[in-house]
Amino acid sequence: GGIALGQGASVVKGNNPSGTASASVAIGRQTAVADYGVALGSRASVGITLTADGTPEKLTTGGLYGTAVGINSGVYSNSALAIGHNAKVSENANTALAVGYNSQSSAQNAIAIGNSAKATAVNTISIGTGNMVSGNNSGAIGDPSTVSGADSYSLGNNNTVSASNAFVLGNAVNNVVDNSVVLGNGSTVLTAVATPEYTVNGVSHAFAGFAPVSTVSIGDSGKERTLTNVAAGRISATSTDAINGSQLFAVTSEVEKGNQFAGNTGIFNRRLGETTTIRGGLADAAAASNKNIRTVAKDGQIDIQLADNLDVTSVKTGNTLLNNDGLHISGGPSVTTGGINAGNRIISNVGDAVSDTDAVNKRQLDNL
């Protein structure tokens, strides 16, 4: 049997509005309950719909072990609970929960708590004023937010999440992509871009983690945020850890040291990007070659070696020029392929002539 207390209250058995439901309780004006249900409040109903005048109309597909508490509250699925004015658990929403004015749960295991909160997909949670959750296995906590993507969550106010497997923690977030994480008020997120390598000065460097499934955003363009208290990440060719400021400082400190250059005398330093000038005194238009010079790199130094036998077109020192034609002394003698020109100078220390073609000296001439 059942218990009915209040004007027009009824406990209904089967499809017969005049029958008596089993183990049911109906308390309140025009309250109606089917088998094993509990209804408290004016026009509250469990397992049965009411007409406009509050008369029991027809049994729903569910309602066993359901409980409806509040004016015009209703439970039409098994083992469900509705608490609040106009709170409703619709059919095909077994074990669902609706708490709050005008709250509504309409799928299995759905939970709606708050003024006009709605949970319309299986295993959803909608907590807060005006939240609407329609994506399976998703949830929203806060004030009016909409989550339509599957397996996604919104914690905050005025968010719209249409992507799947997304997580939002913040307010006023509307731009979300699949598998993303969005943190902070007004943050936005874009589709992740794969970056397999980068080329520096013609050299390509391959990166680990070059195929991201999505991205994490903590701000927006012009509304960026710093990420603080980041632990030092592992540094290796395969590491995908985040690097903190102290690690970058260590790298830049080494780069700032630059390169030290040392000669036989003198030492100087140049930072990355600064110019080191190696200069000679030869005019740009003058002929030159490098066939008599060799460089050897060994043990951190470069040796510049000069050939023992120089191969050059000419050598000039002071007023003396030695070239393929011979030896020329400006204003003095010359020894060339064309002969010897004393240049009107005395030739001293000439030995006595022996052969017919030898030059004779003055003493030999005086003895004639």
Closest CA to 148 of 187, 170, 182, 174: 174
Q: Model confidence over 250-268: pLDDT tens digits?
A: 999 998 998 888 888 999 9
275 in a structural domain? no
State the total domains in the chain. Answer: 2
Residue keyed to tokens 């903190």: 244
pLDDT band at 337 (very low <50, low <70, confident <90, very high): very high
Q: Model confidence over 206-215: pLDDT tens digits?
A: 999 999 999 9
219 in a structural domain? no
- Residue 18: its pLDDT value, please? 41
- Residue 118: its pLDDT value, please? 99
23 in a structural domain? yes
Q: Distance of CA 50 to CAs 2, 75, 132, 222, 361, Å? A: 18, 12, 26, 56, 152
212: three-class secondary structure by DSSP? coil
**95: domain CATH number?**
2.150.10.10
- Residue 300: its pLDDT value, please? 83
Ramachandran bin of 346, using left for φ above 0, alpha for ψ from -120 to 50, beta for the remaining angles = beta
CA distance 19 to 262: 108
Q: Model confidence over 305-328: pLDDT tens digits?
A: 989 998 888 898 999 999 999 999
What's this model's pTM, rounded to 2 decimal places?
0.75
**324: domain CATH number?**
2.20.70.140
- Residue 1: its pLDDT value, please? 55
Containing structural domain, residue 12: 1-120
147-158 average pLDDT score: 98
Boundary of a domain, candidates 64, 88, 120:
120
Boundary of a domain, candidates 87, 104, 120:
120
CA distance 41 to 296: 100
pLDDT band at 21 (very low <50, low <70, confident <90, very high): low
166 in a structural domain? no
Length of the chain: 368
Q: Model confidence over 54-97: pLDDT tens digits?
A: 788 888 889 999 999 999 999 999 999 999 999 999 999 999 99
Boundary of a domain, candidates 120, 148, 178:
120
